[in-house]
């Protein structure tokens, strides 16, 4: 071996070390997001403006809440397809409680808290039903939540017809709207909510008994049962959490649109699951983190925002979104293979 080749070797090994560190860090998706951001910046310089960054943040929030719920379910090797219908159902139920146009509690000072309570109850109830069917009746999560999705998507539309002649329930009380737009200490209320949910979810997963049990159920359900983990309760809890998170997302969505609409969120199912999985959570259970989901959602929202800003035709929007997701996944797969070799 000659001296020069030794030198190149040394330099390339330094390079390699760096590449390796980036590739194997659990922040890979974050790095990819940054890379993507820099890549599109020449095309849409406005991406770097405060306004757009603020938009990206606020667009992330509701999606992030549902995605966090989904993370819990994926960790126990389940899947929750019903989240979109929970968003829709909670939206119209909440609106029907508080709308000024003949809501159940129209005009009452209790309307807003009662409506929000009703929304969370919808989420919990549907989540509980999913959990019950899966743990007590032994039905597969995919099909249970598929049927609840179909059922409540339809039910939300039907429910709306009892409250309005239009396709959505408007005239939500001022108090609710302000809640969505207001801020505490310069930080928007919705951000506070999502921060709270996110930190809570992170703590539950990383620090509490429930968190350990969720991972255990996803890793090896039988071993968990033998070790005294109340497997059924734990799995049911994951679906409850997912339902509640979807309901919170519904509050945020309904607040920003100031309307209870039965088609809310109907098209974002693949975005939700996609964001979680891109973040690194496994569809086969036992693996997942809240921060990963944050990065996954950031990545997707970043792509979406850039495509919106570019104002491209529909086909390029589809094609680019698909290509970027694929690229991210390929990079992830390649790095796991490198990891296996080193």
Distance of closest approach, residue 201 Cβ to another protein, in angstroms: 14
The interface with another protein within residues 90-149 (CB under 8 A) comprises: 133, 137-140, 142-144, 146-149
Strand partners, 187: 184
Distance of closest approach, residue 200 Cβ to another protein, in angstroms: 10
Angle between helices 174-181 and 111-135 (to 10 degrees): 70
112 vs 229, beta carbon nearer another protein: 229
Residues 72, 241: Cα–Cα separation, whole Å: 7
110 vs 205, beta carbon nearer another protein: 205
* Binding letters toward another protein, positions 56-75, x by CB under 8 A: ---x--x-------------
The interface with another protein within residues 168-197 (CB under 8 A) comprises: 168-170
Give the CB-side neighbour count of residue 160, counting CA atoms within 13 A.
Answer: 22
The H-or-E segment that residue 184 falls in is strand 183-184
SS3 state of residue 337: helix
Distance of closest approach, residue 193 Cβ to another protein, in angstroms: 16
Q: Which residue has the tokens 């993507």?
A: 36
Stretch that binds another protein, among 102-110, 119-127, 186-194, 220-228 (CB under 8 A): 220-228
CA triplet 131, 127, 180: central angle to 5 degrees?
Answer: 160
What b/e string do you get for 283-321 counting C-beta neighbours within 10 Å, with b at 16 or more? eebbbbbbbbbbbbbbbbbbbbbbbebeeeeeeebeebb
Q: Is 320 a residue that touches another protein (CB under 8 A)? A: yes
Distance of closest approach, residue 26 Cβ to another protein, in angstroms: 14
Residues 225, 206: Cα–Cα separation, whole Å: 21
Contact with another protein (CB under 8 A) among 14, 41, 178, 227: 227
Q: Is 263 a residue that touches another protein (CB under 8 A)? A: yes
Residues 165, 158: Cα–Cα separation, whole Å: 11
* Tokens of residue 229, six digits: 């983990």
Q: How many CB atoms lie within 10 A of CB 323?
A: 11
Stretch that binds another protein, among 51-59, 117-125, 191-199, 234-242 (CB under 8 A): 51-59
Q: Is 266 a residue that touches another protein (CB under 8 A)? A: yes
Contact with another protein (CB under 8 A) among 23, 113, 125, 308: 308
Number of residues binding to another protein, judged by CB under 8 A: 110
Q: What is the full DSSP assignment across 269-316?
A: HHHHHHHHHHHT--TTSS---HHHHHHHHHHHHHHHHHHHHHT--HHH
Distance of closest approach, residue 332 Cβ to another protein, in angstroms: 7
Supply φ then ψ for residue 139, to 5 degrees: -95, 150
291 vs 331, beta carbon nearer another protein: 331
Stretch that binds another protein, among 25-33, 35-43, 114-122, 188-196 (CB under 8 A): 35-43
Supply φ then ψ for residue 80, to 5 degrees: -125, 100
Q: Is 209 a residue that touches another protein (CB under 8 A)? A: yes
Distance of closest approach, residue 88 Cβ to another protein, in angstroms: 9
Give the CB-side neighbour count of residue 309, counting CA atoms within 13 A.
Answer: 22
Q: Is 327 a residue that touches another protein (CB under 8 A)? A: yes
Q: Is 80 a residue that touches another protein (CB under 8 A)? A: no
Distance of closest approach, residue 124 Cβ to another protein, in angstroms: 20
Residues 73, 241: Cα–Cα separation, whole Å: 8
The interface with another protein within residues 276-295 (CB under 8 A) comprises: 277-278, 283, 286-287
Q: Is 329 a residue that touches another protein (CB under 8 A)? A: yes
Q: Is 46 a residue that touches another protein (CB under 8 A)? A: yes
Distance of closest approach, residue 147 Cβ to another protein, in angstroms: 4
């Amino acid at each position: 071996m000659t001296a020069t080749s030794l030198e190149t070797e040394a330099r390339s090994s330094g390079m390699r070390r760096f590449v390796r560190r980036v590739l194997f860090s659990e922040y890979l998706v974050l790095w990819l997001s940054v890379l993507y951001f820099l890549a599109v910046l020449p095309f849409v310089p406005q991406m770097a403006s405060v306004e757009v960054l603020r938009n990206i943040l606020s667009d992330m929030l509701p999606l992030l809440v549902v995605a966090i719920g989904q993370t819990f379910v994926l960790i126990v090797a389940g899947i929750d397809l019903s989240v979109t219908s929970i968003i829709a159902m909670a939206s119209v139920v909440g609106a029907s409680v508080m709308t000024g146009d003949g809501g159940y509690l129209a005009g009452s000072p209790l309307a807003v808290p009662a409506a929000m309570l009703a929304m969370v109850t919808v989420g919990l109830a549907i989540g509980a039903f999913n959990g019950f069917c899966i743990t007590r009746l032994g039905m597969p999560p995919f099909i249970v939540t598929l049927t609840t999705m179909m059922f409540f998507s339809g039910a939300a539309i039907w429910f709306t017809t009892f409250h309005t002649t239009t396709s959505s329930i408007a005239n939500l009380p001022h108090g609710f709207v302000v809640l969505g737009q207001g801020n505490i200490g310069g930080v928007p209320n919705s951000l506070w909510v999502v921060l709270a949910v996110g930190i809570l979810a992170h703590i539950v997963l990383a620090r509490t008994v429930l968190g350990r049990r969720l991972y255990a159920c996803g890793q090896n359900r039988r071993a968990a049962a033998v070790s005294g983990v109340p497997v059924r309760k734990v799995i049911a809890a994951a679906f409850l959490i997912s339902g509640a998170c979807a309901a919170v997302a519904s509050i945020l969505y309904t607040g920003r649109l100031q309307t209870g609409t039965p088609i809310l969120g109907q098209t974002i199912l693949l975005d939700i699951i996609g964001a979680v999985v891109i973040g690194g959570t496994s569809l086969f259970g036992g693996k997942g983190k809240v921060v990963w989901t944050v990065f996954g959602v950031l990545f997707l929202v970043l792509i979406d925002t850039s495509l919106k800003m570019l104002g491209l035709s529909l086909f390029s929007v589809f094609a680019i979104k698909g290509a970027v997701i694929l690229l991210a996944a390929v990079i992830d797969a390649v790095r796991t293979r490198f990891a296996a070799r080193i």
